[in-house]
Amino acid sequence: MDNVKETIESLRKEIDEHNYNYYVCNNPTISDREFDEKLALLQKLENENPQYFSAESPTQRVGSDISAGFTQVEHRYPMLSLGNTYSIAEVEAFYNRVAQGLNESFEIVAELKYDGTSISLTYEDGKLLRAVTRGDGTKGDDVTANVKTIRSIPLQLRGENYPSSFEIRGEILMPWSVFEKLNYEREQQEEALFANPRNAASGTLKLQNSSIVAKRGLDAYLYYMLGENLPSDNHYQNLATAASWGFKISPDTKICHSLQDMIDYINYWDTERKNLPVATDGIVFKVASLKQQKALGYTAKSPRWAIAYKFQAEQACTRLNYVSFQIGRTGAVTPVANLDPVQLSGTIVKRASLHNADIIESLDLHIGDMVYVEKGGEIIPKITGVDTEARMLLIGDKVKFIKNCPECGTPLIRYEGEAAHYCPNDTGCPPQIKGRIEHYISRKAMNIDGLGEETVDTFYKQGLVKDIADLYTLKVEDISPIERMGEKSAQNIIDGVKASLNVPFERVVYAIGIRFVGETVAKKLAFAFKNIDTLISATKEELIAVDEIGERIAESVISYFSEPRNIELIEKLRDFGVQMQLSEDRISQFSETLKGLSIVISGTFEKHSRDEYKAMIEQHGGKNTSSVSAKTDYILAGDNMGPAKLEKAQKLGVKIINENDFLNMIEK
């Protein structure tokens, strides 16, 4: 063996060991910097010596940016769901059914029910062969490329004596800390937030770009092994053996010898789960013996030898200290409860949303009240009730919704049919002004590098930027003297502003911040009206005629362009060179070939990606829809079309076309 190959193999082994210590054992033995240096050296050596490539190398966990649709794979063993219960009485009934069904002694394995997305991993000769989602329980999506990026899932098993082929199932999770960070980043970019870690993990696992998956910090716990030559007839022992092969198995799995053991386990984790770094939503009880599992068998939907006990939504009681009121870029006022810190769903909660005046009134809140706070896996904690029995004689004032903007003092208004209050002073209220600038520079809008929330705040306070048009008047000499800026940072900002002049018209429509006009609606408006002048003069009827534009959006667009100051702003941007119309190249690509047609895309394709086909449908005047209905005109079907969509299409008589049919349609 030559020295380079020896070094590469040694580094792979060493890095794999460090990955195992860090991600599985939670016990790192070297610093992050030392680890990064070793990984960088291995990457360098592999790049220089491609003859020594290995799919199991730690360097392959970064994923690929090549998009490819998921193929569906049939499960060798169906992935059934478990029967759920929310009461200890039903757990007792399960225990008694098992005792009656077996008529012999048995043990129960108690496991935490992690709140993620189910996965089935197949290993052959110690190497990860395939990773498949639950799907419909019979077939699932092959997400192997994405799963290989998860560092707690071994690509090559450790030790010896593992079966030549077996399957192990578990849960892909997003830890609370990663979830909070991801949602913060999405909020800064004005992207839709994930509702909870489960949705975030599921959405991440189905991304077409595994290099993005690699950056999302997913984790995994494995909980059940299947195959012909398993190490033991005992489920608990199989998990212990799997842990020795490098799998991440929950350390909180326990053998229960009686019903009382099961109840004790429930009572302990009903409180202690709040301290876990990942979301849980219950406990799973399984008969330990595989032989006894087989004897008990299955119902049509679930095994008779297992049951899931679901926790109630997490709730904590803490003191309300005061209520603050925040102003967003649209002028909407959000009341926020400021609380004594309390632990909830793996994080410390100090604030909770009160949403609007009606909710405050319905809760009958007083300063100093002990309030019930619920998170239940959701993004923002909410107050669900008040412990009125805990009220003291010296309770504080009743919480009342403010009448004036806390930032500029303007009397608030409430539009008919809306729950929120608004500050109408959109030209003089600082949070609204700064919010519009932050929206304009965001990634999905004008994407101006070098600018962020803090920089905008600084520029506003120093009088450099009072509206979005002022960004185009900035000079290096204005910015460089500012603390922590310097000439290089200043030049980067100027370059970023200049580059925004090339941003296409549809993103400009989104960036100017018309109320209710999000990224998709902005694109629809830009494609329908082609330039800003036509959009400005559009009537309500013309706006509503555009796909997905309803009365509320149409009225908002008309209202925005009826303000002289907004027209003045548009003219300033036009003078600076901001794109105010679709380019000739873009216009030439449009047609009305598919006008009025509703098309559903299903399956995987060879010639173009699903996103490319969606763009083509819009480009030629068609409408993308996600579900099949009587209004669907065509289904563009690739390989592995969803069986439910196929069945519904046949039932409704919807025409199914393939890639070639579709491309021929738009060519004509």
Q: Known catalytic residues?
A: 113
Let me know if 527 is exposed, middle or buried by CB neighbors in 10 A (0-12, 13-18, 19+).
buried
| C-alpha atoms less than 13 angstroms from C-alpha of 344 in its C-beta half-sphere | 26
* Residue that has been written with the tokens 């039903």 in this structure: 90
Q: Report the 10 Å Cβ neighbour count for 474.
A: 17
Structure tokens at 425: 């002073």
CA-to-CA distance for 118 and 32, rounded, in angstroms?
Answer: 30
Structure tokens at 569: 């702003």
Smallest Cα–Cα separation from 459: which of 441, 471, 445? 471
- Phi first, then psi, for residue 623 (nearest 5°) are -125, 125
Q: Backbone dihedral region of 220: left (phi > 0), alpha (psi from -120 to 50 degrees) or beta?
A: beta
Q: Report the 10 Å Cβ neighbour count for 305.
A: 26
Smallest Cα–Cα separation from 472: which of 511, 451, 432, 501? 501
Structure tokens at 660: 């070639």
Buried b / exposed e over 331-341, threshold 16 CB at 10 Å, is bbbbbbbebee
Element at 167 (helix H, strand E): strand 165-173
Smallest Cα–Cα separation from 22: which of 171, 150, 181? 150
Indicate if the alpha-carbon torsion angle 108, 111, 116, 117 is positive or negative: negative
- According to DSSP, the residues that pair with 599 across neighbouring strands are 624, 634
CA-to-CA distance for 518 and 503, rounded, in angstroms?
Answer: 16
- Phi first, then psi, for residue 383 (nearest 5°) are -85, 125
Residue type, 430: P
**Cβ–Cβ under 8 Å, residues 327 and 407:** yes
**Cβ–Cβ under 8 Å, residues 401 and 418:** no
CA-to-CA distance for 40 and 19, rounded, in angstroms?
Answer: 14
Q: What single DSSP character describes residue 61?
A: G
- Three-point CA angle 74, 77, 78, nearest 5°: 75
CA-to-CA distance for 223 and 116, rounded, in angstroms?
Answer: 13
Element at 652 (helix H, strand E): helix 643-652
CA-to-CA distance for 430 and 126, rounded, in angstroms?
Answer: 60
Structure tokens at 12: 């792979």
Q: Report the 10 Å Cβ neighbour count for 328.
A: 14
- Phi first, then psi, for residue 572 (nearest 5°) are -60, -45
CA 72: distance to chain centroid? 23
